[in-house]
């Protein structure tokens, strides 16, 4: 366990710019834009509970203020979506170079001189991509969302309406980021095929890793489509694209499982009965009831095992 901890720390030290500073910079830019918009937004006009609540050109009765607080406390993590999208690029490019870079710069000769197995080394990279990187991004996104939320409440307070008390008493303020962290196991299972594919390609390719990782499935898809249309041999090319190519290239995108299982998770039907964050949370966990995710997990584990075997055999890029 101590060896694994130091291996993960080593990976974090070597890729801190990608894993920490990239989402942090994006979050800082979003915060600056949002805060600037709030400060410059002089069109807000809030009155007391006995009068209508005016937001721009939209007027809402004062009794709807509780609903506004409820909506804000449930939806404030939306501002973290650009940061979460950065996570998919971070995981993709980190895994793409994880095993290839150490062969290319010959650092693999140094690491293999240490009493650390190839299995432990590869698993540390998997843990960083599937656990550490998402947690870092979730933390940065949560801080960003809370900053924007309370800045908006401060702007409202400047116009005479105090939402801080109601906001701090709202359970969704605390449950929303916990639900996000609670989706980490779902993310791990759905992203495993992508991580496994990228690590396997990274362990095999001597150069042009991106072209091998992305070009191989895309060219295969085009050939299957051509064979289906021109040769009429009964190949279901669309199934290959949606079930294989999308899974190995898009699995690291947070929430991609909703796209993969859109026909089997009735998120929209349940939205009228519960809060949207709770609907997404339950619907996301419901995707684990299908066989598709577990076939992907098995394939991801097999590809990671192949990456371990290749790292053991190949020492030079």
Picking from 275, 256, 110, 267, the residue whose alpha carbon sits closest to that of residue 183 is 256
Domain segments of the chain: what residues?
1-37+63-313
| 111-142 pLDDT per residue, tens | 555 657 888 889 999 999 999 999 999 999 99
| 49-63 pLDDT per residue, tens | 444 444 443 344 455
CA atoms within 13 A on the CB side of 251: 30
Q: What is the reported pLDDT for 206?
A: 84
Going by pLDDT thresholds of 50, 70 and 90, the confidence category of residue 262 is: low
Q: What is the reported pLDDT for 140?
A: 96
| Range of 45-54, 180-189, 263-272, 283-292 with top mean pLDDT | 180-189
Percent residues over pLDDT 90 in the chain: 43
Is the separation of the CB atoms in 314 and 206 below 8 Å? no
| 168-184 pLDDT per residue, tens | 888 889 998 999 999 99
Is the predicted pLDDT of residue 32 greater than 90, yes or no?
A: yes
- Entry pTM: 0.85
- Joined tokens for residue 64: 């709807």
Which strands, in side-by-side order, build the sheet including 58-60?
Answer: 44-45, 53-55, 58-60
Q: What is the reported pLDDT for 271?
A: 45
């Amino acid at each position: 366990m101590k060896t694994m901890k130091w291996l993960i720390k080593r990976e974090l030290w070597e890729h801190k710019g990608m894993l920490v500073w990239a989402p942090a910079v994006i979050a800082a830019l979003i915060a600056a834009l949002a805060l600037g918009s709030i400060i410059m937004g002089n069109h807000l006009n809030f009155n007391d509970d006995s009068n209508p609540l005016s937001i721009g050109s939209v007027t809402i009765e004062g009794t709807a203020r509780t609903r506004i607080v409820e909506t804000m406390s449930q939806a404030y993590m939306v501002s973290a979506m650009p940061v979460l999208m950065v996570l998919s690029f971070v995981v993709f490019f980190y895994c793409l170079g994880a095993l290839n870079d150490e062969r290319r710069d010959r650092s693999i000769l140094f690491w293999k001189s240490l009493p650390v197995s190839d299995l432990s080394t590869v698993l540390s990279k998997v843990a960083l991509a599937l656990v550490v990187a998402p947690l870092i991004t979730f933390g940065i996104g949560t801080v960003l969302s809370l900053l924007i939320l309370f800045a908006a409440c401060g702007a409202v307070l400047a116009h005479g309406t105090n939402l801080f008390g109601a906001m701090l008493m709202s359970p969704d303020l605390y449950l929303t980021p916990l639900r996000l962290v609670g989706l980490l196991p779902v993310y791990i299972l759905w992203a495993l095929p992508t991580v496994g594919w990228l690590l396997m390609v990274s362990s095999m390719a001597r150069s042009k890793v991106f072209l091998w990782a992305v070009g191989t499935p895309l060219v295969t898809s085009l050939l299957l489509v051509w064979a289906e249309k021109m040769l009429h041999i009964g190949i279901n090319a669309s199934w290959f694209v949606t079930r294989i190519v999308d899974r190995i290239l898009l699995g690291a995108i947070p929430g991609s499982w909703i796209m993969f299982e859109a026909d089997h998770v009735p998120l929209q039907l349940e939205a009228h009965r519960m809060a949207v964050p709770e609907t997404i949370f339950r619907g996301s966990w419901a995707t684990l009831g299908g066989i598709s995710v577990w076939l992907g997990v098995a394939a991801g584990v097999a590809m990671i095992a192949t990456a371990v075997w290749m790292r053991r055999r190949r020492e030079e890029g």
